[in-house]
């Protein structure tokens, strides 16, 4: 029940990767000019075509990275570094992934200015708030397509248009959505978009950044000329071949997967509420990812609930981060205005392609038993 953290690798993806992990195909470096290198380059190009097709992008607009985090870093740091000196302002939101928020913090140490836009109680970003945050110095606005924690889907196209009207570029982190929702870079009107393989039944260690044709983005890794001088380092060919196959499968299956998981999600939310009184759904009730169920539970600590779920064979996630023995409520749950006790009790369940109704019913029953025990 934790598919937002990572998804299992699809057997068809594994089959596509295997030739590049062993045997003749594993000899090839895409930068080499001999036969093995040319074959590796052809495989890399085919993977890029498949990822581009998933996004309705051009082949030349897709740049491979080692992760979604790296794609976010390249989008943000690369765009700000390439911007004119007078464009030294970055706008983002309070509920972004740490890959974005920590970039914002780093930018501040480098002399850039940053504005963090708040969200409402359901995690929605107001386009008007973004408009007010943008100045004549703004180089880039970054708003994630949907929250990885609470699942709220943002009005990306409207915000992108506002950014463009003010002369700013627009980036979205679509790591959680690209394998599940229609993600069309032309329809969304974004300039940059991040995604990765392991959220769509592909391998870990493979990410990508869409960069609109003609946009200037400075590299953040320096070395060879790979990825058209945007990302130095020999490409992880087996993982990227797997990424291509995962993107191909996502394109074929995501509509049916989303419809099935949305119905399953809504039944699961109802079952959790029936199993334990005092369950609060976090995030927007309708504008949310089809597989996301984030709840806070009155009178229960999230980490304790998670540990008990794990002991009963249920893998879920918490909105809390444990560090050095202290428990800090999720920055996302705090940003939507939850009091500390509810923010600290946040638990995220995320369904996957293989999740069944029987499993959801079983988890809801276990959840109810654990909550009742912890409240005694």
231 and 300 in a single domain? The answer is no
Token pair belonging to 290: 């089809």
For this structure, is 322 an active site residue?
Answer: yes
Whole-model pTM? 0.96
* CATH code at position 226: 3.40.640.10
Give the range of the structural domain holding residue 114, as residue numbers without chain letter.
Answer: 11-250
* pLDDT value of position 96: 97
The whole-number pLDDT of residue 320 equals 44
The pLDDT value given to residue 319: 56
Neighbours of 365 (CB within 10 A): 14
182 and 106 together in one domain:
yes
Q: Are 130 and 92 members of one domain?
A: yes
Give 10-residue mean pLDDT values along the chain (376 residues).
97 98 93 95 98 98 98 98 97 97 98 98 98 98 97 98 98 97 98 98 98 97 95 97 98 97 98 96 97 96 95 86 55 95 95 97 98 95
Q: Name the nearest CA neighbour of 140 among 177, 95, 93.
A: 93
State which of 250, 269, 290 marks the end of a domain. Answer: 250
- The contacts of residue 15 (CB under 8 Å, 6+ apart) are none
Residue 321 and residue 328 in contact, taking contact as beta carbons nearer than 8 Å? yes
pLDDT at position 109 is: 97
Same domain membership, residue 201 and residue 113: yes
Number of domains observed in the structure of the chain = 2
Please check whether residues 169 and 245 belong to one and the same domain: yes
The answer to whether residue 140 is domain-embedded is yes
Residue 363 falls inside a structural domain: yes
Helix (H) or strand (E) holding 229: helix 226-229
In a domain, 4, yes or no: no
Measured CA to CA, the distance from residue 238 to residue 345 in angstroms comes to 40
Query: Which one from 103, 190, 196, 322 is the annotated catalytic residue?
Result: 322
How high is the pLDDT of residue 336?
A: 97
| Spatial CA neighbour of 21 closest among 243, 241, 248 | 241
Look at residues 215, 250, 285 and tell me which one is the last residue of a structural domain.
250
Name the CA dihedral angle for 239, 241, 246, 249, rounded to a multiple of 10 degrees.
-170
Residue 329 is predicted with a pLDDT of 82
CATH assignment at residue 323: 3.90.1150.10
Q: Are residues 262 and 237 in the same domain?
A: no
Residues 234 and 296 in one domain: no
């Amino acid at each position: 029940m934790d598919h937002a953290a990572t998804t299992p690798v699809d057997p068809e993806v594994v089959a596509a990767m295997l030739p590049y992990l062993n045997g003749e195909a594993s000899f090839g470096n895409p930068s080499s000019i001999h036969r093995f290198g040319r074959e590796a380059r052809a495989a890399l190009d085919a993977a890029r075509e498949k990822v581009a097709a998933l996004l309705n992008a051009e082949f030349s607009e897709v740049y491979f990275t080692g992760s979604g985090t790296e794609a976010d870093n390249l989008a943000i740091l690369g765009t700000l570094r390439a911007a004119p000196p007078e464009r030294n302002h970055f706008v983002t939101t309070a509920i972004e992934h740490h890959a974005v928020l920590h970039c914002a913090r780093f930018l501040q140490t480098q002399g850039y200015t940053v504005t963090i836009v708040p969200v409402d109680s359901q995690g929605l970003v107001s386009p008007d708030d973004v408009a007010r945050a943008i100045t004549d110095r703004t180089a880039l606005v970054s708003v994630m397509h949907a929250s990885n924690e609470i699942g709220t889907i943002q009005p990306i196209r409207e915000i992108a248009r506002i950014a463009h009207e003010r002369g700013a570029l627009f980036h979205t982190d679509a790591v959680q959505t690209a394998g599940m929702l229609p993600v069309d870079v032309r329809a969304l009107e974004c300039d940059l978009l991040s995604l990765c393989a392991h959220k769509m039944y592909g391998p870990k260690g493979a990410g990508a950044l869409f960069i609109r044709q003609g946009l200037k983005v400075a590299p953040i890794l320096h070395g060879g000329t790979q990825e058209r001088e945007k990302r130095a380092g020999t490409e992880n060919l087996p993982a990227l071949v797997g990424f291509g196959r995962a993107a191909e499968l996502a394109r074929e299956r995501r509509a049916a997967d989303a419809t099935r998981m949305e119905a399953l999600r809504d039944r699961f939310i109802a079952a959790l509420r029936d199993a334990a009184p005092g369950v609060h759904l976090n995030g927007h009730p309708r504008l949310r990812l089809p597989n996301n169920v984030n709840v806070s539970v009155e009178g229960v600590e999230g980490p304790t609930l998670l540990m008990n779920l794990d002991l009963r064979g249920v893998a879920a996630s918490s909105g809390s981060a444990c560090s050095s023995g202290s428990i800090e409520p999720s920055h996302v749950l705090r940003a939507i205005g939850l009091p500390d006790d509810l923010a600290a009790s946040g638990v995220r369940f995320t369904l996957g392609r293989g999740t069944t109704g029987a499993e959801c019913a079983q988890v809801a029953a276990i959840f109810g038993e654990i909550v009742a025990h912890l409240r005694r």
